[in-house]
Structure 1
Amino acid sequence: MSYFFDFEAEFASSLRCIPMIVRYKLDMCGVKLKLLHWLQLSHKQRQWLVVTPCDTPEDQANYRQQLRDWVTKNHGSPPSDLEISQPYPWNITTKLPEVIQQQLTKVPHHGLTVEKWAALTPLQRFALLKLSQPGHENRNFWPALQEFGLV
């Protein structure tokens, strides 16, 4: 099983950047992890964050606590909390999020419809949301659309 998207290939094996699977888990458990914090973790700890489940409330609590303990030990203070939106925005499948619609205006010949949005996995929807945020360089939005079969 691959935990990484193809558009993350340039840094996935080294774990020098926070991969989408970990960003997804961070949003689910309410932790704002800075790149500095990520880089202070050992490679083994980063791998743990990639592979450890974060699906149930118990998983999320354990993931959150372990990460907070590691960051506090390495950095001297815990990471910031992140507001947890319920339902998770990527789980709303009845319409395309506004931020996605805005990003799609820059993409010619895309095939993203509400039906195709709903058919994506939650992680794929999460990735597209993250890759279309204002202030994000958005360079992987097009490769993600390609990877997900939407162009």
Structure 2
Amino acid sequence: MTLNAAPLLFRFEVESSENLTYIPMCVRFNLDRFGLRISLSQWQLLPLEDRRLLARFPVDEDIATEPNFDHALFEMLRTHANVEPEWFEPDEAPAWRDINAVPGGIAQQAALASLAAPDLEAWARLAPFQRYVLAKLARKPESNHDFVPAMREFGLAAGA
């Protein structure tokens, strides 16, 4: 198992995660990848060191590369919260993987923020994890406070 040296947080997350009080995007990615769902209250029941460890897991799409995230999460939740995560069937072809179409939610979030949505070329240049983050932040119809900072950090909006 190859963990990152430190929790994998974007600059826009450092302040909003409030020292891992909220579930960071790297953990959300792995939850979605493995088809696991936990509540914010379950996340917050975990000791800070466990949350830091979960945030150090790689964000690689290949489950065979890192099969231990789900096992670690199960053990931590059983030990500290006496609960298990909820299972769901992961999306086989999420919109963020498609470099030939920018998901509609991203255009909607960009419009809410008076920004231009990324064009196909800019979308395709993003790393897969960055595309995941933008799609995740844009999944709801209301404005997301992290969307504009993420667009800036990824070089898609002024002020990057």
Calculate the TM-score normalised by the size of structure 2: 0.82
What's the counterpart of residue 97 of structure 2?
91
Q: Is the 8 A contact 2:8 2:26 kept in 1?
A: yes
- Determine helix, strand or coil for the equivalent of 2:91: coil
Q: Distance in 2 between matches of 1:59 and 1:12?
A: 27
1:75: how far off?
2.7
Q: Distance in 2 between matches of 1:60 and 1:90?
A: 20
1:14: how far off?
1.5
Q: Which residue among 118, 124, 127 is the counterpart of 1:121? A: 127
What's the counterpart of residue 110 of structure 1?
116
1:34: how far off?
0.9
Q: Distance in 2 between matches of 1:138 and 1:107?
A: 9
Q: Distance in 2 between matches of 1:135 and 1:64?
A: 30
Structure 2 alignment gaps of length 5 or more:
1-5
Residue identity over aligned pairs, in percent, reads 31
134-143 vs 17-26, which deviates more?
134-143
Aligned residues: 151
1:135: how far off?
5.7
Q: Distance in 1 between matches of 2:99 and 2:15?
A: 30
Deviation sequence 1:32-54 (CA, Å, 0-9, x none) = 12111111111111111011235
With over 3 angstroms needed to count, the CA separation of the structure-2 counterparts of 1:137 and 1:100, relative to structure 1, is closer
From the two aligned structures, give the one with the greater helix fraction: 1
Q: Which residue among 49, 53, 69 is the counterpart of 1:63? A: 69
Structure 1 alignment gaps of length 5 or more:
none
